[in-house]
Chains A and B, each alone.
Chain A
Amino acid sequence: MNIVVAMKQIPDLQQIRIRNREPVLDAVPLTLGNIDKNALEAAVAFKESHGGKVTVLSAGSEDLEDTIKEALAAGADEAFLVLDDELDGADSEAIAGILGAALNRIEDKDLIIFGEGSGDNYSGQVGPRVAEILGIPLVTYASSIEINDKTAKVVRSLEDCEEIIELTLPAAVSVLAGINEPRIPSVTQILKAGKKPKEILEMDDLGLALAEKQVITLSNLAPESERKQILLKSADELVKALSSQSLIGR
C-alpha cells in the first residue's frame, strides 16, 4: 500500500505579527500546514500497522527542500517536490495542475491524502480539483479512514450529519483537523530526515509553465479592532457596566 500525502509550505502562522494592520512576514520561518500534518499522521499510522510506503508531495519555493524535512522526520519515507519561487501564493488552479501532473509521475499510489484546508489559505479547493484532474473518487472532511485491500471506508463528517462512504482504490481523501494527534519527531528522526530520498522537479520537467494569476489580491489587512478594552475589577462592576448598556436585565 502506497500513500501520497499532499502538504503545503506556509509561513508559521503563530509567528506572524501585525504592524499598521499589515501582516509582517519577514523573518517568519516556513513550516507545513497544521492539518497537512494530520494528513501525514494518518498515512504514517497506517504504514506502521499495515506496511507500505508514504510519499510526501509538495509544490513550493526553493525553501521547500529544507521545510520538507519536518515531514520526513515525522515518518514520510520519501519526498516528491516541485520547486519554483513563484509557487508560494500561486492560484489553487495552478497548484492543483502541478500536483495532478506530479501524481501522474508517481507510479504506485493507492491513496492520496490532503488536508481539509491549507494553513494559510484554508480554501479547500486543491483536493477536489486534483480529484477531478485525475478522475479518481475523493471523500472530503474525513474523521476516520479504514483502509482494506482494495477499498477504503471513510467517515465524512459534515455540519449536521456523518456519511459513511466506501471508496475503490486508487482514491483520495481530505482529512479534518481533529482526525488524529500528529506526532512530534525525535531528534534522531530529525537528523535522519536529511538522508531520506527526495525527487526534485521543476515546472519544465513536468511540461508546465505557470499561468498568470487569476485571483488578484487588492489588499490583505488585519481587521480593525476598536474594542474599548476597559479593565474591570469585579463581577459587580461587570454587571453594572453591562446593565448600563441594557445588555443584561432586559
Chain B
Amino acid sequence: MAGILIYSDKNDYALELLTAARIITASSGLDVRALSINNDSQAEALAGAGAEVCKINNTAIALADASALANAIKQAVEKLDINTILLSSNLRGRELAGRLAQIIGTACLTGVSAVKLNGDKLECQRNALGGATVATQYIATEKKVIAIVPRSFEKAPAGTGKISELEVDVQATPGLKLVETKAKSEDSVDIEAAEVLVAVGQGLNSKDDLPMVEALVKALGGELACSKPVATDKKWLSEERIIGLSGKKCKPELAVLLGISGQVQFNVGIRDAGTIVAVNSDENAYVNKMADYVLVDDLHKVVAELNKILA
C-alpha cells in the first residue's frame, strides 16, 4: 500500500516529521518510511525512534544542490511506492518541496503548521495573506508534497526501527558550484525553546539601551528576541532572534513585547504564546489588541522600573 515518506536535512526536524506522519497514518494503517541522505547519524537517530529508515549514500548528492536532492527523493518515492512526502519547511526544505513537486508533477504546500486526515483528505493549515489569515487547504492529487514548519510537532520518542540501504542514480547539477560554507554568527540562541521571551522592536532608542533590556531578560529568566528590522536593518541583534513569518515561531508561556507595533508578519510568530504583555507608547498600536496586559508608556521607563522592582 502506498505510504508516507519523510525527509529533512536536520535530524530534529526529521524526528518531528516522524510524529506528524504517525498522526496521519494512525487511522489509515499506511506505511511510514524515513529517508536519510548522506547522513548516517540521522539514519541511526530515526531508527532509534522506531522508524523504518532508507539510507542513501551517494557522493553525487550535495546538500547545497537541491535539484540533485529532489531527484534522489523522487527515485525513492518511485521505489518505495509513496504517495505523500513530508519535508521540513526550513529554508532548504521549502526549496526542495517546490523542486520535488515539480519533477513529480504534483501540487505542494509549504509552511504547513498543522495536519489532519479527514476522510481521504489531508487537511493542512498554513498562513495566508502574509500571515493575516490561516487557510485550511488540501491537495487534490494522489501524490502530495507537504513541508511542515519546524516545531509544529514533538520529536518522536524512542523505539526500535531498522535501516536499509537504497540506491539512486543522480547527477550533480551542472553550472552550480559550492565555493564555501560559513557557519553563521556565534550567537546560537534558541528562542523557540524559551519559556519566557522579551522581544524588542524599533521602539528601542538605540543599541545602548539593550543592556537594560538584557537585565530584564535575566530577571525574568528568559531569552531576548526581536522584531525583524531590529536584526536586519539596525543589526542590533542577530537574525536568530527574529520572531515572525521569516523568523521563528515561538510558544513561550510569557512574552513581553517592547516597542513593537504588532504587524501580522511579526504576530504569526508569537500568537501561540500563553500570556502576552505589550509595552508601547502608542495607545492605538495594533500590538495592544493581541496582548493580555497592555502598558501604554515609554518602554525605557517601564524597563527601568521593572528592573528596580525585580532586583
Contact = CB atoms under 8 A, between A and B. Distances in A.
A binds B: yes
Contacts of A138: 67
Contact of A238 (B95, B288, B295): B295
Contacts, number: 232
A132 B99 contact: yes
B290 interface: yes
Q: Please classify how large the interface on chain B is, using the bins under 10, 10 to 19, 20 to 34, 35 or more.
A: 35 or more
B246 interface: yes
Interface residues of A, number: 76
B277 A242 contact: yes
Interface stretch (A48-56, A161-169, A186-194, A202-210): A161-169
**Secondary structure of the B contact surface, majority rule:** mixed
Contacts of A96: 98, 102
Contacts of A238: 277, 293, 295, 302, 306
Contacts of B123: 218
A216 B137 contact: yes
A132 B110 contact: no
Contacts of B275: 242, 245, 247
Nearest to B283: A231
Contact of B107 (A91, A121, A124, A222): A91
Interface string A120-131: 111111111101
A227 B233 CA distance: 30
A27 interface: no
Nearest to A22: B133
A140 B95 contact: yes
B128 A120 contact: yes
B144 to A, nearest CB: 9
Contacts of B1: none
A214 B139 contact: yes
Contacts of A128: 66, 95-99, 102
Contacts of A2: none
B259 interface: no
A223 B134 contact: yes
A178 interface: yes
A248 B310 contact: yes
Interface of B: 64, 66-67, 70, 90-92, 94-99, 101-103, 106-111, 123, 127-141, 173-184, 188, 196, 220-221, 232-233, 240, 245-246, 253-254, 264, 271, 274-277, 288-296, 302, 305-306, 309-310
Given A23-B133, A96-B98, A164-B179, 8 more contacts: A23-B132, A137-B67, A161-B181, A164-B182, A165-B176, A166-B176, A223-B271, A227-B289
15 contacts: A11-B129, A13-B130, A16-B132, A23-B133, A120-B130, A124-B97, A131-B67, A141-B91, A161-B181, A163-B182, A167-B175, A168-B176, A221-B134, A229-B294, A238-B302
